[in-house]
Amino acid sequence: MAADISQWAGPLSLQEVDEPPQHALRVDYGGVTVDELGKVLTPTQVMNRPSSISWDGLDPGKLYTLVLTDPDAPSRKDPKFRPVGGKVGRGYHPDILNLVEVPAGQGCIDLPGLQLVCSAGETASAPGMGSLGVQPSCVLVLPSVSSASCSPAVEDPRCTPPSFGAQSPCSLLCREWHHFLVVNMKGNDISSGTVLSEYVGSGPPKDTGLHRYVWLVYEQEQPLNCDEPILSNKSGDNRGKFKVESFRKKYHLGAPVAGTCFQAEWDDSVPKLHDQLAGK
């Protein structure tokens, strides 16, 4: 049975990852199958890369890109969205109430119920909060702040990936942490593709609840010659701050032809994975 992707924009709020896929993706992990949207699995069950994938409309003669991404690094508590000058993603973090996307160039703006919003490409400074790095198109809304200043952005070292379990105020800005990236895959033959980022299983930090892990397949019009770094599964470097939508636009890929999502939270296999990513 395939997942019901009509619920893509439902309670799981998967619209923040990409456009809805055309077809449901079936992902087989040996003894367990992702056959429903949001199915709860354990990190132990998805430790190794899938044995097979399939979807309706699959053409063995075409090339595809395959992505697995976690939009909830380091945690997800409240995935609701509401429009405030753009898309607003609510998510709990010790130092951040909201992560908001607004058009660039708006400067510091005032919104009802929000203490501070700084425009894209700037940093937010507030008493006792320090300077928080902001990615393009993202702004911070800080709790319990009545006044603050906006200044030109500088790269905050606390946003340096990996963001696994990081408790810095910037860690929410590194939300999409990608676990697998393959291009030039012939049909659904994963082993035939060019692996840009080796497979890393689910590793949600302890006490961060369920994370969404989103599989997406894109059809390619031609072979891709990517300039992305080749990432080993022995390190978490360059996995964070990933945006699948930006990747597909960079390489002129359309909306996903297939996709699905499973959820997982910490189990006792995760510390070993974290050690692996730390090079231990």
Q: What percent of the chain has pLDDT over 70?
A: 64
Give residue-wise pLDDT tens across range 157-194: 323 333 323 333 333 344 689 999 999 999 999 999 99
For range 227-235, the mean pLDDT: 97
pLDDT band at 3, cuts 50/70/90? Answer: confident
pLDDT (tens digit, 9 = 90+) per residue, 98-109?
Answer: 333 333 333 333
Average pLDDT, the chain: 73
SS3 of 197, please? strand
* Per-residue pLDDT, 77: 62
Taking alpha carbons only, the member of 155, 199, 175 closest to residue 53 is 199
> May I ask the CATH class of domain 5-73+175-277?
alpha beta
User: What does the alpha-carbon distance between residue 122 and residue 100 come to, in Å, rounded to a whole number?
Assistant: 13
Sequence ranges of the domains in the chain: 5-73+175-277, 81-158
- Report the half-sphere exposure of 64 (CA within 13 A, side-chain side): 27
Q: Would you place residue 95 in the very low, low, confident or very high pLDDT band (cuts 50, 70, 90)?
A: very low
Question: What distance lies between CA 24 and its chain's CA centroid?
Answer: 19
Phi first, then psi, for residue 74 (nearest 5°) are -90, -15
pLDDT of residue 11: 85
* DSSP-derived secondary structure for 232-279: -TT--TT-SS--HHHHHHHTT--S-SEEEEEEE---TTHHHHHHHHTT
Checking if the pLDDT of 75 tops 90, the result is no
DSSP strands (E only) in the chain: 23-29, 32-34, 39-40, 52-55, 63-70, 81-83, 87-93, 96-101, 109-111, 114-117, 122-126, 130-132, 138-141, 149-152, 177-186, 194-197, 211-220, 258-264
Q: What is the pLDDT of residue 278?
A: 94
- The position carrying tokens 């590793």 is 203
The model carries a pTM of 0.69
Which of residues 67 and 86 earns the better pLDDT score?
67
- pLDDT tens for each residue of 100-136: 333 333 333 333 333 333 433 444 443 333 333 333 3
